[in-house]
Amino acid sequence: MTYQAFLFLLLCNLLWAGNFVFGKILIDEFSPMWITFLRWLIACSILLPIAVRYEKLSFDKMKKILKNSWMILTCMGISGGILFNVFTYSALQFTTPTNGTLMFSLTPAITMIVSFFIWKEKISILQFAGLSVSFLGVVTLLTGGNIMQVFYMEFNRGDLLMIGADVCWMIYAFLCKKSDTIPPVTAITLSSLIAVVIMLPFLIMQPLPIHQVSAMGFNGILYIGLFASVCAFVLWNFSVRTVGASIANLTVNLIPVYTAMITLLMGGVITGVQLWGGGMVILGLLLTSQKRTNSIAIYVSTPDVDISKTAEKCPHCAN
């Protein structure tokens, strides 16, 4: 069963990597808002029957959950359902899928830094070293290998937008922990439905040119709605229940690797700077995932706001 779980994790992260690759293609035919809307509309149409079948979600139960947790679910829908995706797909207008996934993989490090400064959460020496290596890797990517340019360069707009996506995902992860009393499929279904409803007025201002949508665009929307959302989510949750969230989270570092491989297979080019900078980012993230020993900060016991551990307590977080 453990081997099956690891196989599912490998496949899950491959599907999430495909989201960035297809997102780069789709952005030429759809606006970021339309991609996000169609993604969750497709996902909700599949997740809702799953929640009804396996989590016994009835109409009365849905009303009760919305009455008690509408604020958290709405914030989840806005931060993770709308803003994270709009930032991500907007970023892909200006940066490569490889850079996008590498910037996204910094989310745990950003979460750790926020926890350190706001809630005085301890960071070990090894984790601090990992943060430093990851930061150096990102600077290498942003400057094209000429690190001294960081003092006078104009940053790539796409990479900066991905940092915004990271912040939105961090907020979403924190909210996921707060909603851990709601069944996982139900939580992501209801928050996504709320996101779909919120996006409707904005879509009126940017009509979808259906006649200009190509076969590739149609297939790409189906991919991110079905495979990158529903299938990846189901595989992830099965794996987390088998091997635990701590081990499962380590495999997320495979997303940039998969993205680079897919880019190469589709005729793209991976530069030496991307390989070098990406390797540093992944090495740094592996270091930051180590247990917290030899801490360099005083730990304040605030379990209710320890957002650095939300990934381990958030089985219904999905990319």
Q: What is the DSSP string of 244-289?
A: -HHHHHHGGGHHHHHHHHHHHHTT----HHHHHHHHHHHHHHHHHT
**pLDDT the model gives residue 304:** 41
Contact status, residue 136 vs residue 297, Cβ threshold 8 Å: no
**pLDDT the model gives residue 48:** 94
- Domain total in the chain: 1
**pLDDT the model gives residue 221:** 94
Q: Is there a domain that residue 12 lies in?
A: yes
d(CA 218, CA 180): 35
d(CA 19, CA 86): 13
Q: Is there a domain that residue 319 lies in?
A: no
Contact status, residue 143 vs residue 150, Cβ threshold 8 Å: yes
**pLDDT the model gives residue 300:** 33
Instruction: At 86, list the tokens.
Output: 């709009």
For the chain, list residues with pLDDT below 50: 292-313
Give which of 48, 79, 76, 39 is closest to 186, Cα–Cα: 48
Q: Is there a domain that residue 318 lies in?
A: no
- Angle value at C-alpha 19, between 16 and 21, nearest 5 degrees: 120
Q: Is there a domain that residue 252 lies in?
A: yes
Residue 80: count other Cβ atoms within 10 Å of its Cβ: 24
Q: Is there a domain that residue 57 lies in?
A: yes
Residue type, position 199, single letter: M
Q: Could you list the residue range(s) of the whole structural domain that residue 253 is in?
A: 2-313
**pLDDT the model gives residue 147:** 63
Give which of 72, 77, 15 is closest to 40, Cα–Cα: 77
What are the residues whose beta carbons fall under 8 Å from the beta carbon of 316, sequence distance 6 or more?
176, 179, 184, 185, 187, 188, 233, 237
**pLDDT the model gives residue 294:** 41
Three-class SS state of 295: strand
Q: Is there a domain that residue 297 lies in?
A: yes
d(CA 229, CA 188): 10
**pLDDT the model gives residue 291:** 58
Which residues are bridge partners to 124 per DSSP? 295
Instruction: At 140, list the tokens.
Output: 């290498």
**pLDDT the model gives residue 154:** 57
Instruction: At 2, list the tokens.
Output: 């453990």
Backbone angles phi, psi at 295, to 5 degrees: -70, 155
